């Protein structure tokens, strides 16, 4: 793979991550649960990615709580 191809790949991955981050943001979870997906593979993908972003939000909230309570 050339440097240019690697750069394009990196850009594509970042774009996909950003799209998933926006669409599957935990604040949209109630809305997203009403979506009927095409098949079980899409449902599995959705659940895995949603769980990832939910875990990220949970970790962020726990860090904020610990900082607020004077823990590192």
How far is residue 49 from each of residues 19, 31, 66, 68, 70, measured CA to CA in Å? Answer: 11, 16, 26, 29, 32
pLDDT score at 62? 94
- DSSP H or E segment with residue 10: helix 3-23
**Residue 37 φ then ψ, to 5°:** -90, 160
Q: What is the pLDDT along the chain (72 residues), one digit of tens a residue?
A: 899 999 999 999 999 999 998 888 777 665 566 677 888 898 888 889 888 988 999 999 999 999 998 876
């Amino acid at each position: 793979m050339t440097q240019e191809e690697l750069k394009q790949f990196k850009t594509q991955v970042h774009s996909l991550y950003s799209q998933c981050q926006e669409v599957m943001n935990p604040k949209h979870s109630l809305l997203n649960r009403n979506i009927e997906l095409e098949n079980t593979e899409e449902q599995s993908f959705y659940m895995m990615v949603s769980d990832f972003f939910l875990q990220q939000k949970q970790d962020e909230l726990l860090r904020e709580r610990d900082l607020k309570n004077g823990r590192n």
